[in-house]
Structures are given as C-alpha cells and as structure tokens.
C-alpha cells in the first residue's frame, strides 16, 4: 500500500541549511507536497512538485525529487527561528482521491 | 474569507458520550476530509468525500461517521467516545485531487476523552 516515511526530529543551528528527507512507496505518485505546521495551528502548504520535475526552488526553499529512489527532500537555506515547526511530506496521484501524509519531522533551531 | 472553519476548538468528553465535530468551507471545494493527528504518527485519514452525497473511508474510520449533505459541510460524528480517540482533529478541503491544488486545513479541534 501507499506509505510515506520521514524521520521524526531534526535539529540545526540558526543560519545553517536544514534538509528534511522523505521517502514514499507509491511509484504512481503524481504530486508531492511539503506542508508546515506551527504549534497549535493547522497545516499550511509550503510547496509542491510534480513528478516529472526533479527540482523546484522558491526563495529559501529547494525541493529535490529522485523519482527512481522515491526520495523527496526539502532544503531550507539560512534557517531562522521562525522555521521551527513540524514539516509534513505528502503524496497523491492523479487517479486518487486522497492524500497520504508522512509522520512529520519536527525541526528545532538552536542558537 | 473564512476558508475552512472547524468547531469546537476544544472539547472534553466522557467515555461513551457522542459528539459531532463541525466543518464548513466557503470555497466551493468538492473534496473534504477529516484527519486525526497523534504524536509520532502524523496525519491519518479518517473519512473523506469527493462531493455532496459521496463519502468513503480512510485509514482509521472505526468509531467515526460522516455525511456530506451539502458541498459546504462535512461533520464528523463520534458515536461512543473512547480514550483512544483523544487526538487533534483536522478538517481539510480542496478542489478535486490530482491537480496539485492546495489543501486548506482548519485550525484543528483538540478532543480529550476521559
């Protein structure tokens, strides 16, 4: 069945780059997403990538997709304290009517 | 622009009680869903709907019912609350899946069953 896996925790120093990794099992995935959840709030879409792309950049965010290995990553450049949150990887495909989320990676920033 | 509105935000129930979590969206989205979020388990899909009159089960449907009588509303009913249903519940909506459309989430409902 479909599965999305992420590590649960990541700690980085302020100003460094953060790289959050995700693996998925559904080879027919069409869209892959990164969502951010701040404490006490719902999820907000950060970015998404279509499966025929291998990279997408948006300001400090870079998404890399390795479709062969079913591996997705989110790089946050110059990590700031406001980036502290839980980051969820998610996937769906064009014939599906649901989106599958990973367990989320809690990003903490140390001074 | 309200987006996705969930109520209540906080609720404490006794074991065996029933209740309904309300969800409404004003974006004319066809797709609506309910998730529960538990520590270390991310978001798990409870039920979803691809349009009025159509509902389907997600990963963890047991103990929950849904209905979709209108496009706007998608209530989640707990039939007989159990402590295992203590969780944070999120309602979400989007245009139909499969097109990279943004999923909009409500702000969450914190439910404690004692």
Q: How far lies A69's CA from each of A22, A93, A99, A107, B63, in Å?
A: 11, 17, 20, 24, 37
In this complex, do B97 and A88 lie within 8 Å of one another by their Cβ atoms? no
Distance CA B111, CA B114 (A): 10
Task: Please report the DSSP string for B48-103 in residue order.
Answer: EEEETTEEEE-S--TTEEE--SSSSB--EEESS--GGG-EEEEEEEESSSSS-PPP
Choose the closest CB to B98 out of A42, A92, A101. A92
Asked if the peptide bond before residue B99 counts as cis, ω within 30 degrees of 0, the response is no
- B58 vs A: CB within 8 A: yes
Name the pLDDT band for A31 (thresholds 50, 70, 90): confident
Model pLDDT for residues B84-103, shown as the tens digit of each residue:
999 999 999 988 655 556 78
Chain A residue numbers with beta carbons less than 8 Å from the beta carbon of B31 are 97
Task: Please report the DSSP string for A49-87 in residue order.
Answer: EETT-SEEEETTEEEEEETTTTEEEEEESS--GGG-EEE
**Range with the poorest average pLDDT among A15-29, A73-87, A94-108, B31-45:** A94-108
Chain A residue numbers with beta carbons less than 8 Å from the beta carbon of B43 are 43, 88, 101, 104
Distance CA B75, CA B71 (A): 11
pLDDT at A95 (0 to 100): 56
Q: Residue B26 has which token pair?
A: 């004003």
Q: What is the DSSP letter of A97?
A: S
pLDDT at B54 (0 to 100): 94
3-state secondary structure of B15: coil
Model pLDDT for residues A34-43, shown as the tens digit of each residue:
999 998 888 8
In this complex, do A42 and B103 lie within 8 Å of one another by their Cβ atoms? no
Interface size, chain A vs chain B, as Cβ–Cβ contacts under 8 Å: 65
CA distance B40 to chain A (A): 6
**Bigger pLDDT: A41 or A24?**
A24
Choose the closest CB to B98 out of A45, A93, A102. A93
pLDDT at B70 (0 to 100): 97
CA distance B67 to chain A (A): 17
3-state secondary structure of B36: strand
Name the pLDDT band for B71 (thresholds 50, 70, 90): very high
Distance CA A31, CA A80 (A): 27
């Amino acid at each position: 069945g479909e599965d999305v896996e992420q590590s649960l925790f990541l700690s980085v120093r302020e100003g460094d780059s953060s790289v959050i990794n995700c693996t998925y099992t559904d080879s027919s995935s069409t869209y892959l997403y990164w969502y951010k959840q701040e404490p006490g709030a719902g999820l907000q879409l950060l970015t998404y990538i279509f499966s025929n792309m291998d990279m997408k950049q948006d300001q400090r965010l870079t998404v890399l997709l390795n479709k062969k290995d079913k591996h997705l990553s989110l790089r946050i450049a110059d990590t700031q304290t406001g980036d502290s949150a839980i980051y969820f990887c998610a996937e769906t495909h064009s014939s599906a009517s649901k989106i599958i989320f990973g367990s989320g990676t809690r990003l903490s920033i140390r001074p | 622009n309200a987006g996705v509105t969930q109520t209540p935000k906080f609720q404490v129930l006794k074991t065996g009680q029933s209740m309904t979590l309300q969800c409404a969206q004003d974006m004319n989205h066809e797709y609506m869903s309910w998730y529960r979020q538990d520590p270390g388990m991310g978001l798990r899909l409870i039920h979803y709907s691809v349009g009025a009159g159509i509902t389907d089960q997600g990963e963890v449907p047991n103990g929950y019912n849904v209905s979709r009588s209108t496009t706007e509303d998608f209530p989640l009913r707990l039939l007989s609350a159990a402590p295992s249903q203590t969780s944070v519940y999120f309602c979400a909506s989007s245009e139909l899946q499969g097109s990279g459309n943004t999923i909009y989430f409500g702000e969450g409902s914190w439910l404690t069953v004692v």
